[in-house]
Structure 1
Amino acid sequence: MSPGSGSRRTVWDLPLRLFHWLLLLSVTAAIVSGKWGGAAYALWHGRIGLLILGLLSFRLLWGLVGTRSARFLSFWPTPARLRRYFSGQWQGVGHSPLAGLAVLGLLFVLGAQVLSGLGANDDIAFAGPLAAWLSKADSDALSLWHQRLSSALLAMIMLHLLAIACYELLFQHRLLLAMLSLRKRLNRERVAAAPAWRLLLALLLALASVYFVQQLGQVRTPAPQASVATPAW
């Protein structure tokens, strides 16, 4: 089927697309706040990291109980699927096996980046919510990995954008239009929606993960010591 044939039908559900754009904005804000440093870094970088943690938690459960095109099993890049894709025999809905490989890789690196940031510190103004639960050496090690993973994440983002550009310019697949409208040209019926309770469950998991991490950080944060009055001898 040519890229322009078929009718435009819904493929990706609205929660998945909202996740995608919120994640894009959040990662951009995290990168900018990290580059600025200073007060913006100390105040906002950690908050944005918690937002990304919540988004990834939502995506994890939505990949298990969401709509068909959102589930990981629907685009898991098995060797058989990859062979069919590269031989031109793949005819699926949603992410192709190659795109699925890119999505899983990006989510893995981003998840590792967030988890390392939870225990990282900069020795000046910032400490992740779980840094107090770790030794200084372990926190410093996570800080180093957080910096290394940021370079890997930027590289994967650039490859992701390059792949989109190739699909748009070389293969005439309107991925950006599909990502904005939630629809793409298909010769089959649209993907069925998931029950509302599954969406609620995924949202509750996302909120619970952020709340749990925040509470852990507050438990181990030392309270400021009250000043002791000097006795008048």
Structure 2
Amino acid sequence: MSAPSASEQRVRVWDLPTRLFHWTLLVAVVTLVVTGNIGGNAIDIHARVGMGVLALLAFRWIWGLIGGRWSRFWVFVPSPARLIRYLRGRATAQDHPQAGHNPMGAFSVLAMLGILSAQALTGLVIDDEIAFSGPLVSLVSGGLVSASSSWHRGWGADLLLLLIGLHVLAIVFYRLVKRRRLVKAMVTGDEDLPTGTPAARDDALTRLLAAVVLAACGAGAWWIWQWGQSQSAGF
């Protein structure tokens, strides 16, 4: 890794929990896309991985409130004034435009989290009327089951693929045009940024906190799955 220039310093931008979330989610989403298109017996894998994604997303929404500085929504989601400055090319040093997500990237992250969350939640109440029913399908009306199933397999899946494509194109654009290695930063956690850029906290205590939060989210997803299985067995 090359040393930063005299006007820059190496800054921890992405804490370890955020990086692990990112790469685990990537693997999980690829698995969901593949198994969802295969269908058949692969749907059981799709459903189980989907519950894992539900736990990951719950973790990320919470971590967006208490995680490392640049992972927090209130830091990377721009105010209207900051967004206008960015669009006009007049971002100030206090805006830290090179740290973490720029304003447009922030909106793409929120869109991705939103669509993934919608997919995970609708997956809880879908019914293919053949071999699979979501774990919470017995708690909602037939109309909601039908609407959720239609969204999950239709617009929701299409929007997710569109956002993934745009995400990949943005990474390629930044690498080739702006010479920023976004993937590398999400692996190492560090970027060479202007001196004075605040770093994200990423120590043993924050990692322990992340582990506790993730364990709680995982336990919640597991409970929902087990409850659904018990309801199915009762019919």
TM-score (norm 1): 0.87
Residue pairs, 1:144-163, within 5 angstroms: 144-147=150-153, 148-163=155-170
Q: Is the contact between residue 69 and residue 199 of structure 2 (CA under 8 Å) also seen in structure 1?
A: no
Deviation at 1:207, TM superposition (A): 1.8
Question: Quick one: distance in 2 between partners of 1:88 and 1:206?
Answer: 40
| 1:211 correspondence with 2:222 | yes
Q: Displacement, 1:48?
A: 0.8
CA RMSD between the two structures: 1.9
Does residue 26 of structure 1 match 2:28? yes
Deviates more, 1:139-148 or 1:50-59: 139-148
Q: CA deviation at 1:190?
A: 3.1
Distance in 1 (CA, whole Å) between partners of 2:130 and 2:142 is 13
In 2: Cα distance, 1:138 partner to 1:11 partner: 41
In the alignment, what sits opposite 2:110? 104
Residue 222 of structure 1, CA deviation? 4.2
SS of structure 2 residue aligned to 1:38: coil
Alignment partner, residue 101 of structure 2: 95
Runs of at least 5 residues in structure 1 that lack an aligned partner in the other structure: 225-233
Aligned residue runs from structure 1 range 189-204, under 5 A: 190-193=199-202, 195-196=205-206, 198-204=209-215
Give the number of aligned pairs. 220
Checking the alignment, whether the CA contact within 8 Å between 1:57 and 1:205 is kept in structure 2 is: no
Instruction: Give identity over the alignment, percent.
Output: 40
Question: What CA distance in whole angstroms lies between the structure 1 residues aligned with 2:157 and 2:33?
Answer: 8
SS of residue paired to 2:123: helix
Q: CA offsets, 1:184-209, max 9 Å, x none?
A: 11223532236345324422331233
Mapping 1:1-233, distance limit 5 Å: 5=5, 6-41=8-43, 43-86=44-87, 87-90=89-92, 91-92=95-96, 93-147=99-153, 148-186=155-193, 187-188=195-196, 190-193=199-202, 195-196=205-206, 198-223=209-234
Rg larger in 1 or in 2? 1
SS at 1:221's partner residue?
A: helix
Q: Which residue of 2 aligns with 1:229?
A: none
Question: Deviation at 1:7?
Answer: 3.4
Residue 219 of structure 1 and its aligned partner are, at CA, apart by 4.6
Inter-partner Cα distance in structure 2 for 1:56 and 1:106: 11
TM-score, structure 2 normalization: 0.86
Q: Can you list the C-alpha shifts for 1:76-135, whole angstroms capped at 9, x where unaligned?
A: 132112112222414423221111111011100110011111101211111111112233
Distance 2:79 2:119 in 1: 25
CA–CA separation in structure 1 for the residues paired with 2:216 and 2:36: 27
Partner secondary structure for residue 11 of structure 2: strand
- Aligned counterparts of 1:81 and 1:208: Cα–Cα separation in 2: 39
